[in-house]
Amino acid sequence: MAGSHARTREAGVTSLKRNADGIKKELVLRRRGQRTQSPLPQATLARSIAPPYRKGRRHAPRGDSLAVKTGFRVRQKERAPASRYSRVMPQSINPATGEALRDFPYLTDSEIETALTHASRDAPDWGARTCAERAVPMRAAATLLRREKAALARTITLEMGKPITEAEAEIDKAAWNCEHVADQAEGWLADDIVETSASLSYVSHLPLGTVLSVLPWNFPVWQIFRSAVSLLVAGNTVLMKHAPNVPECAERVTDLMRRAGFPRGVFQNLLIPVDRIARVIADPRVAAVTLTGSPAAGAAVAAQAGAACKKSLLELGGSDAFIVLDDADLDAAVNAAVKARFANCGQVCLAAKRFIVTPGIAAAFEEQLAEQAARLRVGDPLDRATQLGPMAREDLRQALHRQVQQSLASGARVLTGGTPRAGAGFYYFPTVLAGVTAEMPVATEETFGPVAAILRARDEQHALALANASRYGLSCCLWTRDIDRARALARRIATGGVFINSVSASDPRMPVGGVKLSGYGRELGRAGMREMVNLQSVWIGSPR
């Protein structure tokens, strides 16, 4: 038996040496740019290729121009475009250049188990604290956000291409939400007294426990705080599953929350692949799940949550209408339209995408919108003069161009733009299409990029019908000088929000969410705070 164990150990050592030699050979060939057909598992190769992470190390060795410029940790002196490497782990890619910045390993099964254990362990103590106690680290988080705004904004810009001025505004908004919820939570969560035949009856708002929050990449810091702030102050613990293309943002915010005073198990970054989400939802230690993303992702998560009899909250896509009636202030409407469509390179769920105009104003609106869009400055998102940066990923740019090309083939006309920009990065020129009909892809699908589709309506009623003729129902903008008329029309628009003579935007004081394929449930404001709590009815009879 002893001899058998010895032979097994010897064979194991020989196998490990063979694998190590194979990895070294594979890496040498890859770094020389040669293609190989390695028998080694892709995950093994990816872990070997990935640069090591050393806590506290901010820059690569002297002479690495990419690392010095970006501040991200990289090991090699020069990094090849991301497409040369297997995407078996999350990876930061600079959309302005297409170059890889840093690889991140997914959590192992044991690390996922540890995260769930910590969340479950800390949930009772965190939930038992008062609102005032839970608000203390949230206010500290707001202070840290403002203090570290420059570094965080730069990370946003490098990872997803948002112009630096917009990234800074995103940080400010996140800090505002932290403070607003901290100030209002005690009143929002106070018991509601209900008049009944009982001697006393009321509804309490109690924590659910641990909530999984699945997040998108387009507002990589704001989306974290839009979801997590109410969850945390309400007494829940949060497992954050962020988008795989913004892992550095997730890591930085997790570190900030720890320094703000949140216990380890109260807020955690769950860096896992999509195929692990269902297992986390099914885990009995997870009470609920929220998701901001595509309808396909929402349908999958809703099905998984339903199978586990757990609550879900979904904020999904949008194809928001921007209705301009004949009596609207044309200049104000056009200026707002540019902001509504091209902010964040058009990569916003809650943003105007279909511009519906009535006959008296249609021609002038088309001309002015195209002129202003063509003047937008496209360029390096780190340049403070840039107004339109790159799209976040190459696959998203390709999908957007397909929508444009198919719509042109169906009769739409290009007033400006309509093509990707040649060269490095994932840029797409600001685009305005006229002659769009309700059946074209740019009208029926969500266009997540800098493309404005203009539809002409016969009259006000037709404009309303076009606005409602969408599978989505997130928000709508309505432009007219007649406010009473606008308020009446708003009640006939099937969306979660209507913005009259304004641009759609989320606000910590107001709930945000949609209907139809745009999801269900609300975030932000009092309604958002009460979405993920246990509404406990308490009935007190007369003592005998």
Q: Write out the catalytic residue numbers.
A: 315, 349
What CA–CA distance (Å, rounded) separates 421 from 372?
18
CA atoms within 13 A on the CB side of 371: 9
Token duo for residue 40: 């080694």
CB within 8 A of 41, min separation 6: which ones?
Answer: none
Contact call for residues 509 and 525 (beta carbons, < 8 A): yes
Token duo for residue 28: 């040498």
Strand 210-214 vs strand 99-103: parallel, antiparallel, or unpaired?
Answer: unpaired
Helix or strand (DSSP H, E) at 453: strand 451-456
For residues 31, 32, 36, 38, the Cα torsion angle rounded to the nearest 10 degrees is: -40
Residue-level length of the chain: 544
Give the phi and the psi of residue 293 in degrees, each rounded to 5. Answer: 175, -155
Choose among 277, 306, 267, 155: nearest CA to 220: 155
Which 3 state secondary structure label does DSSP give 204?
strand
Residue 515 β-bridge partners? 473
What CA–CA distance (Å, rounded) separates 65 from 80?
13
First to last CA, the chain: 77
Report H helices in 261-393.
Answer: 277-282, 295-307, 330-342, 359-374
Q: What is the DSSP letter of 326?
A: T
Strand 192-193 vs strand 320-324: parallel, antiparallel, or unpaired?
Answer: unpaired
What CA–CA distance (Å, rounded) separates 341 from 373?
10
Alpha carbon separation from 181 to 100, 176, 178, 408 (Å, rounded)? 37, 9, 6, 46
Which residue in the block uniquely carries the two structure tokens 């199978």? 307
Buried b / exposed e along 122-142 (16+ C-beta atoms within 10 A)? bbeebbeeebeebbebbbbbb
Which 3 state secondary structure label does DSSP give 433?
strand
What CA–CA distance (Å, rounded) separates 231 from 531?
9
Contact call for residues 426 and 98 (beta carbons, < 8 A): yes
Give the phi and the psi of residue 193 in degrees, each rounded to 5. Answer: -75, 130
Contact call for residues 345 and 323 (beta carbons, < 8 A): no
Which residue in the block uniquely carries the two structure tokens 């990289």? 74
